[in-house]
A and B are shown apart, each in its own frame.
Chain A
Amino acid sequence: MNTKNLIMEVKDFDFTYAGVDDPSLKQINLPIEKNKITAMIGPSGCGKSTLLRAMNRIHDLYPGNKYGGEINLYRENGEKENILNLKKENDLIRLRQDVGMIFQKPTPFPMSIYDNVAYGMKLAGVKNKSELEGRVEKALKDAAIWKETKDRLNSSALGLSGGQQQRLCIARAVALKPDVMLFDEPTSALDPISTGAIEELLAELKKDVSVVIVTHNMQQASRLSDYTAFMYLGDLIEYDTTDTIFMNPNVKLTEDYITGRFG
């Protein structure tokens, strides 16, 4: 396996939710390749979301969870940073700007389309109006939703359809120029046409960012991703190129899952 060009790396990672005795994730090792799409699959409850939510420390909103091991983020200059060591609020904010996240249900903020996309940049301190406008436009174009929104940038984002809202959320994240984007079942609440649009979008996006996507849908994983990780009951069972996982898995359990024998 070629692991030279990593953007993130999960190493010997354990995770235990507050008030729970047993860890929900055990000794996870998972490389995230730069400018590739990595898919996480596995039956419901196996810990996919839990792992994804560790990668931008969104778990920290709820006190008492326990992390073990390392999750490294490789910076532009080749330096690596274990994000589990971040303590200061400022560092966590920076991490979340570098590692964006898209949720299962679209989450437009109760504000205009323009403000939704400009929001993260404003938080990050971008004040210049023409720069904001330029980046909003670019992000909306990158998220393939510019055409539908350019004439209604000042109307409420809540008026968009579900699929449009999800692309808006992607635009919102893209506008921050993150290094990594985490998607937690981003299409499972959408109709097939919107799903197709988002899949196309993801394939485009990987030119600029590295993508990690949790999905329920195995066709989606095989269509879309370069690498696939199969998880089961809090363990990472197998990680490899998507072709290998789907055509020629090494582990019996993976094969059983892929062929629909359980899950």
Chain B
Amino acid sequence: MGGKLFKNFSFFSATLSFFILIGIFSILFTYAQDSIREFGFDFLGSEIWEADEDDEEIGIFGGYIPVIGTMLSTLIAMVIATPLAMGIAIFLTEIAHKTLVKPVSIAIELLAAIPSIIYGMWGLFYFAPIVQSTFGGQGVGLLTAGIVLAIMIIPFMAAITRDAMNTVPDVLKESAYAMGATKFEVIKDVIMPYSKGGIIGSIILALGRALGETMAVAFLIGSVMAIPSSITDPTTSIPVLLANNFSEAQGLEMSSMYYLALILFVVSFAIISVAKFYFLGKKVK
């Protein structure tokens, strides 16, 4: 291959992500048009999702329930995952003996590598009954989905936080110890502030993951179009609604599904961009 061709093909490949992202946005936006025109932004506030009895092509469709379900399950996951992930990162960078760091890191990374459908299976058959007997409810529901979602994002969040904490120079920590600081004080006053950008970035990235997670939640959230009145109630989320009903929908319902996909895409795009620019803005040397 000649040099020119090589370079051009490289460039073409590099720009491909750009075109794919534009493509995703345009396609979702185009196919969501009918729904956007019909419901506008009220779509987000309406909880009715019903096809017309006589004509499957039309009906009233509102995204409130899946949007709320997505937000709540993500919120539960974040509340549980964040402290645990911080704890693991602290353990790996500041507490664990050298010989433990490697195996624990590998274990955490393997946890991240397990496919989400496996979390769903395991959660449905092993974890949901425990949630049910502890907190009541039907086993599947917001809480179960949130907890298992937390288990899924913990390793991811912990790994990035660990990497950020590892960038703190030893001598900076040593000088805090030399002032008579305890380990916790060094973590709180030196390590956390120093690696703040990376830590917050990891939390936001994990949030983005949780929002878009499909399979684990599909097994566990209950998949019913209902507003949860308690934390153990079943409901649904955007990815789960898409996973279960997208392919059978038609007409306006289908367009509303595209609308939901568009919302999810735009929101995660925004969230990841925030994390990225936070990272870049705070990147220390």
Contacts and interface: CB of A to CB of B under 8 A. Distances in A.
Q: Do chains A and B make direct contact within the complex (CB under 8 angstroms)?
A: yes
Interface of A: 56, 58, 61, 63, 89, 93-94, 96-97, 100-101, 103-105, 107, 109-111, 119-120, 123-124, 169, 172-173, 176
B38 interface: no
In order of increasing CB-CB distance, the 8 nearest A-B pairs are: A120-B179, A101-B178, A107-B175, A110-B193, A97-B180, A93-B180, A96-B180, A110-B194
A61 to B, nearest CB: 6
A104 to B, nearest CB: 8
A120 B181 CA distance: 8
B179 A107 contact: no
Contact of B182 (A89, A94, A107, A109): A89
A101 B175 contact: yes
Given A93-B180, A96-B180, A103-B174, 8 more contacts: A58-B174, A105-B171, A107-B171, A109-B172, A109-B175, A109-B176, A123-B181, A169-B175
Interface of B is mostly: helix
Contacts of B178: 56, 58, 96, 100-101, 173
B174 A123 contact: no
Contact of B189 (A96, A101, A119, A173): A119
B101 to A, nearest CB: 13
Contact of B179 (A61, A96, A104): A96
B200 to A, nearest CB: 14
B58 interface: no
Nearest to A105: B171
B41 interface: no
B37 interface: no
B179 A176 contact: yes
Interface in B165-224: 169, 171-182, 185, 189-190, 193-194
A111 B177 contact: no
Given A107-B172, A110-B190, A110-B194, A123 B97 contact: no
21 contacts: A96-B178, A97-B180, A100-B178, A100-B179, A101-B178, A103-B174, A104-B171, A105-B169, A107-B172, A107-B174, A107-B175, A109-B172, A109-B175, A109-B176, A109-B193, A110-B194, A111-B189, A119-B179, A119-B189, A123-B185, A173-B179
A107 B190 CA distance: 11
B193 A97 contact: no
Contacts of A103: 171, 174-175
A100 B180 CA distance: 9
A62 to B, nearest CB: 9
B175 A120 contact: no
B190 A109 contact: yes
A89 to B, nearest CB: 7
A172 B177 CA distance: 13
Contact of B174 (A61, A93, A110, A124): A61
